[in-house]
Amino acid sequence: MDKKITFEEALKKLESIVKELESGQLSLENSVSKYNEGIELATFCNLELKNAEVIVVKMMNQEQLVDFQVKEEE
């Protein structure tokens, strides 16, 4: 990937690549190229999700999250 893209942009592009590959209309050379691009995007998305998970866990450990569950009266 040449430029920095957002998780949402990468996911949308990955979904598009999957549809292209599933169509069966690409040449072998194009299929391999799209597959490699898809792997790069999937790796990027996975890393972004792991980074987000780390942030959420840190926030939970610092008790910065508020429990908004409504407790039922007994």
Least Cα distance to 45 among 18, 13, 3, 2 occurs for: 13
* 21 within 8 A of 30, measured Cβ to Cβ: no
User: Domain total for the chain?
Assistant: 1
Least Cα distance to 21 among 48, 46, 39, 3 occurs for: 39
pLDDT at 60: 77
Does residue 18 sit within a domain?
yes
Report the CATH number that the domain containing residue 19 is assigned in CATH. 1.10.287
Does residue 1 sit within a domain?
no
The token duo for 38 is: 């898809």
* 70 within 8 A of 35, measured Cβ to Cβ: no
Q: State the Cα–Cα distance between residues 66 and 69, nearest whole angstrom.
A: 9
pLDDT digits (tens, 9 = 90+) for 32-68: 999 999 999 999 999 999 999 988 888 777 765 555 5
Does residue 73 sit within a domain?
no
Does residue 22 sit within a domain?
yes
Q: What is the mean pLDDT of residues 4-27?
A: 96
| Segment among 6-15, 16-25, 52-61 with least mean pLDDT | 52-61
pLDDT at 74: 47
Q: What is the mean pLDDT of residues 20-29?
A: 96
